[in-house]
Structure 1
Amino acid sequence: MRARTAAYLLSTLATSVVTVIALPVLLVVPPALRGWAEWHRRRAGRLLLLGVPAGERSAERSAERSAGPSAGRPGAGGRSGDRGWLIWRRDLVWALAHVAVGFPFGLAALLCLGNILVAAVALTSWWAFPDDQRPTLFSVLDVHVNDWATALVGGVVQIAVLGAVAWWVFPVLARLHGRLCVAMLAPSARERLTERVDVLTKSRVGVVDAHGAELQRIERDLHDGTQARLVSIAMQVGLARESLADDPETVAALLTRAHETAEEAMVELRTVLQTIYPPILSDRGLDGALASLAARSSVPVRIELAELGALPAAVEAVAYYVIAEALTNVTKHAAATKIVLRVERTGGDVLSIEVTDDGKGGAGEAGGTGITGMRRRVAALDGTVRLDSPPGGPTTLAVQVPCGS
């Protein structure tokens, strides 16, 4: 840990110098300043063992990309422009504080370690230097090493004193700088509110589009399928009524076809209704529905289902369709031999879903795997979707959906 804090302080000294040199570029290139600040934030989080997530900044970058090229520039209009200005100003203030605090902290660490090294050299090799270039101990006292007694006593004392300073002071300085970075680069309440508004706006647009597409699909299914069959039934019954007195055999055949067509129409109607809310959820609940999905999967599925309690119908439907789509994706694309499905309720008001397979990995939204559709479904309930699929696997799809009242 002490070596880690020493390395942190020395790198802080180096990055402070780089910040001063590159400051003109950072001022006019907001993405560069933002990336520089983000790197320090994550570095400080690792030092402090905070596990600082990258989600805030990735969400900011995603929102800025969706808002257009002017969103990240200071002074750009709109909510994304306001947020870009706030982030740029915050990062600039951090950069100045980083130099003001990090440079002296890092310089102190460098001087301390350098003098320990000088003492170590003086302790063992003072005699190898020319008389006028021999090491000096205790810079303030200007003690020249000209004999073994001075080298042994002075070197040991200097190493002991500076070693104690490094042992006790370095962690304190490193943590102070780390806390400064994390505190100054944390989003303010105004930034979080602005980001939240942007996210909700995007989610609302996606939900409206998805809702419109779903209505069009249902209308098309009913028009092309069920309605066509009902028209056929009406025509067959009409012909049967006209032939009732003259040709009983034709009437019987027409009624038979009308009966078959009616059954086909009912099957199609049930299929359409199942896409709105699966009947199996009403009949067997989410646990029974998931067991049914697992039984139908050609890849073995191990279900780890915790006690979920009562869930809203909309949450159950989203969970069902997301899991069904995920299992289908694994079957079609992953070449997996097993799937682990974990469903639990975390924090009392969040339904967490995790689908993990041992397939070949490399899954992404551009491959037509339905991830975009999942995101839209989940976003409608203010949830999140995270896909982790490195080449070679394993692939993990993590979904969180709020389910509180």
Structure 2
Amino acid sequence: MRERWAEVRRGGRYLLIGLPTAVATMLVLPVLAVCALPAVACGLRSTVFYRIPAGLRRWAEWHRRRAAASLGISIPARPAVPLPSQGVRTRWRLLLDDAETARDLRWTLWQVAIGVPLGLLALACVGGAVFPLVGAPLWWVFPAEEPQRFIGVPVTGWSGALAMGATQAVVAGAVSWWAVPWLARRHARGCLAVLAPSAEERLTDRIGELAQSRAGVLDAHAAELRRIERDLHDGTQARLVAIAMRLGLARESLPGGADALARLLKEAHEGAEEAMTELRDVVRTIYPPILADRGLAGAVSALAARAGIPVEVELGELGRLPAAVETCTYFIVAEALTNAAKHSGAGRVLVRVARRDDRLLIEVTDDGRGGADESSGTGLAGVRHRAAALDGTVLVSSPPSGPTTITAELPCAS
């Protein structure tokens, strides 16, 4: 009972405060229209007009917080209206493209259309319960030809005033007891729904968050690979080299006749050298050391120099690229050059790497016989998987008579 009474009081207060604010909100659209005229007349440079959306945002946000408090929930604050200090076109573009501004305008219409009727209903319910308590004792003030009425019944005496007044108070109180909390909840939920992002916008925001988090994970992964490469190169590989050298010295210092021991040392020495060779291959597949030493441009040039066939390299302005993008580009070019040298019979290869806004374009073209088939090996499939991990794309064009062109696009926005 006590909790219900608290809901009635809270809902009534919420709706009764919302009634005059809804009436005040009716002025928003006329004010916007009036302020837009001088904005256009002044060459779209009126600073007053740009402050109106900011004020509307605060006004709508205040109602949003009231609605959340009425429902007993917590909500995050919405961003403020962006107001750059310079650039008229930038200001207009931000205002027109800002989804929150569109929701504020939509809320303005909703608040007027819903807030006023619900506020009047709450006023009728609460007033119908409170008025008899004040008006019944004053029935005699009204003239006889226009007597006071309770529940449509004219009051002409104390008995009628008390009976009809109490009846109206009870009926209106019962209606308020049931209707006011329900109306308040409906209004509050509607307010939050109108000012909330749509399902498509939430999905878009979530995709953006996932893209950022994936970029962070890839950068962290690339940094970890660089650390592992350094540890293997400076630690494990150095120790293997030292072991191989000691084994070589031991073989040379053996006395004559120790054939069995010499054979064992030879096998150990060769095994250490093979382990070093395998370790170098593993290090190169983890993170190419040349990327850290010479950057992407130098690494691509080095790949072209040792490709085994003539390779022409065209590099555009690359700028600063994420480590994951550089690594993926290196392996794409390396795989494409390896395929061209081994399978295409090409006499010349052209490698182009250029940046276009937030995309990195990699194009490798050879004049070989063509007919490259992704299903016949894992090379091209691996290239496609590497690019897909960065949300990139790979297109392979290889007609039977050639040429073969591998085109990859990688997002490289930092």
Q: Specify if TM > 0.5.
A: no
Q: Larger C-alpha radius of gyration, 1 or 2?
A: 2
TM range (shorter): 0.3 to 0.5
Give the alignment's TM-score, normalised by structure 2: 0.44
Give the TM-score, by structure 1 length.
Answer: 0.45
